[in-house]
Structure 1
Amino acid sequence: MLSRRFFLSVAAMAAIGVVQGSTANAAEKDIVTTAVEAGSFKTLAAALKAGGLVETLKGKGPFTVFAPTDEAFAKLPAGTVETLLKPENKAQLVSVLTYHVVSGKVAAAQVVKLNAAATVNGQRVNIKVEEGNVRVDQATVVKADILCSNGIIHVVDQVLLPSGDNIPATAAKAGTFKTLLAAAKAAGLVEVLSGDKPLTVFAPTDEAFAKLPAGTVESLLKPENKEKLAAILKFHVVAGRVFSNDVLSKKELKTVQGGMLTAAMKNGAATINGAGLVATDIDASNGVIHVIDSVMLPPAATAKTSHVTPEKAQFVAHVCPTSGRVTYTMVQTVGRK
């Protein structure tokens, strides 16, 4: 597997035209100057100016920029670029542009070894080597390792688009979180989950809520139980963006409810407080969603309702062939004792 990965990496770097030895002059100039002088990034340069990011990308850095060519911008629907360049759409433009920037200098030799990379936007781009090509989300890297004084440029053939939907909107579009959304509304938490501060949500599916004893959900949705419902929901939320690799490496996460979540992975089983992780790293404009198969209960709630302890499930981690996202597939369910 290691040797195969090595040869794929070498082939990919050859396919995208890794620049070596001929970039001494470019390395003396910053990212913006290099892009402008190349002559094929006029739209990107105009967008950086409109977004107020020119001075930032002329700064010390270092930065890694996945730079869309003018042809890449031309592939967007008619009027998209003109709309983004309008002053009233500056925030949206900045969100798109910063989604193309990774902090640090990440050369092609490193890129091809990654499954994903966190951008300055906050969301992650998915990376995969496919048929000798390096793909960043749906874009293909057509030229790599253009060295600059404050970083490095990799040229891509499509504009990368971050998620524009917040956490509730992302969950609504998925169609499998109707109970969770109804609960968030009843608890008065929709506005919080729609805010600007990044959050990580461990989202129980409708099937997860259906595992609770009959009448539990209906009881929690009553106005008199709003405080209890809010506490349970907040126990599923962690401040900041915490992607799956960090969830497993940190092992313990403090929720906005105040309680602690414990992550574990052993022999292909990935759990968070006993709930199985069935899908991870679903980006939203204001955070990230990890899908779980059971409702997690805060310690106080668990003590009162021990009969609803989540079932334990066995999962195998794999990488989605289309998105490159790490997910976990349930292969066996262990009954409660």
Structure 2
Amino acid sequence: MFMPKLTLAAFTACAIRSSLAQDDAPTMNIVDTAIAAGTFTGLTGLVTLAGLGGALSDENASLTVFAPNDEALAKLDNATVAKLTDPLWLPQLQQLLLSHVLVIGAFTSDMVIDGMDAPTASGESFTVNTDPIRINEDSVVIAADIMATNGVIHVIDNIIASQAVSQTIADLAVADDNLSTLVAALTAADLVGAISADGPITCLAPTNDAFAALPEGTVDSLLLPENVETLKDILLTHCISGNIVSSMVTSGPITTLSGNTIEAVVNDDGSITFDGATVITADVVASNGIAHVIDKVIVPTSDEAAATTVAPTTAAPTTEAAKDDTHDDGDDIDHSMDEVKDSPPSSAAMYGTAVATAAVSAGFAMLI
């Protein structure tokens, strides 16, 4: 028997509220509340796999969780599920889950302002609208204000889109005006498509100011067609095979995709440098790897002379042109990028293997 759409939605919301029935004073934390409901086996399995159970159970925290139920998670395609449950991609899983968590306290439905921007624990933000309450127009709240001892749960009917599953390193670079010179260089070297590939790859991304600090004329010289091999070598020296988050970096040499070696240094204050370039924004998680924004361009010794040879200036590729080429893999992409797939992952790329061995609830198995 078919039920009218609105009646079915109301019935579903009532059923969820019934399964989460509670006294005025909650007695369970967010994770235990979700487990008790019986309709979040997939979500609680992912939380366990990501090693986030402790953070979401913290009684000293005050959190708001937009929780996709099992029906919502079942909408994920098999390839995405397989990727997110592979320990190699643990940073992406964590980014996705934390994009469903607000750290601004227990944010109840009566506090929602239509069109408001809500920052999440992942560093991303989403837009909240009302009538009905929904996230980014895609995820509708079907049961609101489920109180827990450390926050509140709102049940949603779709996962919230995250850059961890939808945007590559190239996409994020093109969207950042502070990285426009890097994008122009990648375009000139025919490497934009390559850093849009599957990965995993870790990129050290120099800012516009980092490029501007090079000797006068260097950038213009590197962007000339006759210097493309030098440019490729420099750019590939900023790329490392693996999914390397900052917490996995240790002091010592690292071999890059150019074959050049750079020196990583983890300082006593926690700051990280690569060949003297300081990481100013760490752990930008993309669907195909990690980016760390740095304040200096790393120029291998073998390229220094060629990079500083000033040639007649020609117009550099524009940012708009770079945007048009973002998904153009091309036939002439340097073969060195094949190492992203062909070389064994570094130890840092296996970030979180121990966490991934944790037991996952039987209910989650239906998603694989």
Q: TM-score, normalised by structure 1?
A: 0.54
Q: Secondary structure at the match of 2:68?
A: helix
Rounded to whole Å, the distance in 1 between the matches of 2:102 and 2:94 is 23
- Cα distance 1:124–1:261, how it changes in 2: closer, same or farther (>3 A)? farther
For residues 110-166 of structure 1, give each alpha carbon's deviation from its aligned partner in whole angstroms, at most 9, with x where no partner exists. Answer: xxxxxxx94574857659995888x8548999769xxxxxxxxxx964646431110
Rounded to whole Å, the distance in 1 between the matches of 2:91 and 2:147 is 20
- Cα distance 1:71–1:205, how it changes in 2: closer, same or farther (>3 A)? closer
RMSD: 5.0
The answer to whether 1:171 aligns with 2:166 is no
Instruction: Say which structure is richer in helix.
Output: 2
Q: Say which structure, 1 or 2, has more relative contact order (CA 8 Å, 6+ apart).
A: 2
Rounded to whole Å, the distance in 2 between the matches of 1:212 and 1:62 is 44
Rounded to whole Å, the distance in 2 between the matches of 1:141 and 1:260 is 52
Do 1:194 and 1:286's aligned partners in 2 also have CA atoms closer than 8 Å? yes
Counterpart for residue 54 of structure 1: none
Length, aligned pairs only? 234
Cα distance, 1:40 vs. partner? Answer: 2.7
Rounded to whole Å, the distance in 2 between the matches of 1:124 and 1:71 is 12
Q: Secondary structure at the match of 1:201?
A: strand
Q: Secondary structure at the match of 1:302?
A: helix
Counterpart for residue 321 of structure 1: none
Q: Secondary structure at the match of 1:291?
A: strand
Q: TM-score, normalised by structure 2?
A: 0.50
- Cα distance 1:275–1:141, how it changes in 2: closer, same or farther (>3 A)? farther
Cα distance, 1:288 vs. partner? Answer: 0.7
Counterpart for residue 287 of structure 1: 289
| 1:1-337 equivalent positions in 2, closer than 5 A | 16=29, 38-41=37-40, 72-73=67-68, 85=75, 90-92=78-80, 98=84, 118-119=90-91, 121=93, 137=122, 157=154, 159=159, 161-163=161-163, 164-247=166-249, 249-266=250-267, 268=269, 270-302=272-304
Q: Secondary structure at the match of 2:67?
A: helix
Do 1:252 and 1:262's aligned partners in 2 also have CA atoms closer than 8 Å? yes
Do 1:237 and 1:256's aligned partners in 2 also have CA atoms closer than 8 Å? yes
Instruction: Say which structure is richer in strand.
Output: 1
Rounded to whole Å, the distance in 1 between the matches of 2:300 and 2:190 is 19
- The one-letter amino acid of 2:29's match is I
Rounded to whole Å, the distance in 2 between the matches of 1:209 and 1:254 is 22
For residues 253-299 of structure 1, give each alpha carbon's deviation from its aligned partner in whole angstroms, at most 9, with x where no partner exists. Answer: 21000111212233545321011211100011101110011110112
Cα distance, 1:200 vs. partner? Answer: 0.5
Identity level (%):
29
Counterpart for residue 325 of structure 1: none
Counterpart for residue 28 of structure 1: none
- Cα distance 1:156–1:254, how it changes in 2: closer, same or farther (>3 A)? farther
- Cα distance 1:178–1:274, how it changes in 2: closer, same or farther (>3 A)? same
For residues 224-252 of structure 1, give each alpha carbon's deviation from its aligned partner in whole angstroms, at most 9, with x where no partner exists. Answer: 111110000000000111111112x2533
Cα distance, 1:214 vs. partner? Answer: 1.8
- The one-letter amino acid of 2:183's match is L
- The one-letter amino acid of 1:196's match is D
Q: Secondary structure at the match of 2:178?
A: coil
Q: Which runs of 5+ in 2 are unaligned?
A: 1-26, 57-64, 107-119, 127-144, 310-368
For residues 41-82 of structure 1, give each alpha carbon's deviation from its aligned partner in whole angstroms, at most 9, with x where no partner exists. Answer: 38x59xx9xxxxxxxx7xxx9776879xx98338xxxxx959
